[in-house]
Structures are given as structure tokens and as C-alpha cells.
């Protein structure tokens, strides 16, 4: 699972985030379970294997994006968490629309690495609280899926926010990313990409930023 060993904060903060991100862990476990079912347990699940019944209660946190050009990905399936942040039905929209202008370059590089690696990705999110001081933090995870020709053209996504209430619809700010390469059959288990911690607007939270 992503995240825990890189967390910097109090035990109470950790427990709060673990509760908020439990749906992400379950969706990740679902994807990993499909991967374990491939020959040798080191392949990748296919898009056709994704069954909403397998995601169950966490469906609202899930989504699928498709790469339709080297720099363009569109939302093909969207749970209500992503749609609520976009402020409308998200299906068919460019995935980049969910993020603010300053996050676009990092988002594009993260998607390239996820599709081309292939690699799983963890994106640290932040959105300001409208009419209130402070920010709401969140997390998004991306997991590669194969198409019918054996190419990674889709990513299964999961996202959640800490706190009792969803933030108001607005572009999300990407504060850091972490990638884990998915090795091919016969290779070692996924290898973590080099990353570094940097502070965010939230005093108790630091995020991982990739180094080229």
C-alpha cells in the first residue's frame, strides 16, 4: 500500500488519514488481487476484468481514465467523488480539468510515467476551504490496465479526502507524487522511483516529489 511509511505527523493524524483513505486501500487491494491472478502474479489486469461489483461500496471513490493521445487523457467512468470535485458529470471530460493550472505539468508527467512505465502512482492533493481558513488534503491513486492488444491505455483511479465533509467543487492542487514501477513477468516486484519529501501548506504533512 502507498503512503504510510512516508507519513510525517502524529499518531492521531495517521489514524484519521487511514480511516479517510480506507476506500483507496480496498480499491488498490482489488487491483492487486486481479494482478495476482495473472500468470506468475506479475502481469497487469485488463480493463475488461474491472467489475463494479468487485469494488462494491467504494465505487463512489473509483474512476477510469483513458489515454486518447500522448498528452490527453479523458475520464471514461467516474464515481461521485471525482464528479463532485469537477462540479458536473465527469465522464467524457479531460482528466486535466480536475486540476489547477500550476499542477498541469506535474500531472502530465505523472500520467506519462504511469502509462509508459507502466507504474502505479500516488498523487497528494490539496484544496482550499472556501470561506474558511486552511485546506483539505486528499489522495489519488492510479493503477495501469491493459487493453485488448496488451497495451496500457487506461488507468483505474481511486480518490478520497480527509475530513468529515467533501470540499466544494474546484480545481485540485497537486502537491506531490510518488510512482512505483510495475515490473514485467519474471522480473522483481515493483521498484520504487526516486523521490524526495517537501513541505506542504499543511504543517503535519509532507509529500514525495519525483526527481528526474
Identify the CA nearest to 190 among candidates 49, 39, 44, 37. 44
Please compute, for residue 90, the number of CA atoms within 13 A of its CA located in the half-sphere on the CB side: 31
Is 33 inside any structural domain?
yes
pLDDT at 205: 44
Q: What is the mean pLDDT of residues 3-29?
A: 73
Longest CA span, the chain: 53
Using an 8 Å Cβ cutoff, are 155 and 145 in contact?
yes
Q: What are phi and psi of 173, to 5 degrees?
A: -100, 125
Is 45 inside any structural domain?
no
Is 47 inside any structural domain?
no
Using an 8 Å Cβ cutoff, are 20 and 161 in contact?
yes
Is 186 inside any structural domain?
yes
Q: How far apart are CA 50 and CA 104, in angstroms?
A: 28
Note down the domain range covering 137: 4-38+58-210
Return the CATH number at 90. 3.30.450.20
Is 49 inside any structural domain?
no
Q: How far apart are CA 54 and CA 64, in angstroms?
A: 15
Using an 8 Å Cβ cutoff, are 122 and 139 in contact?
yes
What's this model's pTM, rounded to 2 decimal places?
0.81
Cell, residue 165:
465533509
Is 147 inside any structural domain?
yes
Total domains present in the chain: 1
Q: What are phi and psi of 128, to 5 degrees?
A: -65, 150
Distance of CA 38 to the CA centre of its chain: 22
Is 73 inside any structural domain?
yes
Helix boundaries (H) for 80-194:
80-86, 104-116
Cell, residue 47:
480493463
Is 127 inside any structural domain?
yes
Q: What are phi and psi of 111, to 5 degrees?
A: -65, -40
Q: List 74's β-bridge partners, or say none.
A: 66, 94
What digits encode the pLDDT tens for the residues 80-123? 999 999 999 999 999 999 999 999 999 999 999 999 999 999 99
Cell, residue 67:
489515454
What digits encode the pLDDT tens for the residues 49-67? 999 999 999 999 999 999 9
Amino acid at each position: 500500500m502507498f503512503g504510510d511509511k512516508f507519513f510525517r505527523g502524529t499518531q492521531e493524524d495517521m489514524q484519521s488519514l487511514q480511516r479517510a483513505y480506507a476506500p483507496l486501500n480496498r480499491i488498490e487491494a482489488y487491483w492487486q488481487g486481479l494482478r495476482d491472478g495473472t500468470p506468475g502474479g506479475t502481469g497487469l489486469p485488463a480493463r475488461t476484468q474491472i467489475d463494479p461489483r468487485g469494488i462494491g461500496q467504494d465505487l463512489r471513490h473509483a474512476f477510469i481514465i483513458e489515454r486518447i493521445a500522448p498528452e490527453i487523457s479523458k475520464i471514461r467512468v467516474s464515481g461521485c467523488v471525482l464528479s463532485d470535485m469537477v462540479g458536473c458529470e465527469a465522464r467524457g471530460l479531460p482528466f486535466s480539468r480536475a486540476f489547477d493550472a500550476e499542477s498541469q505539468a506535474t500531472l502530465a508527467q505523472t500520467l506519462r510515467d504511469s502509462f509508459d512505465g507502466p507504474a502505479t502512482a500516488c498523487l497528494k492533493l490539496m484544496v482550499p476551504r472556501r470561506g474558511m481558513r486552511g485546506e483539505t488534503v486528499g489522495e489519488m491513486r492510479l493503477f495501469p490496465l491493459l487493453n485488448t492488444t496488451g497495451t496500457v491505455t487506461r488507468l483505474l483511479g481511486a480518490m478520497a479526502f480527509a475530513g468529515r465533509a467533501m470540499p466544494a467543487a474546484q480545481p485540485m492542487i497537486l502537491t506531490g507524487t510518488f510512482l512505483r514501477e510495475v515490473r514485467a513477468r519474471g522480473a522483481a516486484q515493483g521498484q520504487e522511483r526516486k523521490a524526495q519529501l517537501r513541505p506542504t501548506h499543511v504543517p503535519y504533512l509532507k509529500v514525495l516529489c519525483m526527481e528526474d
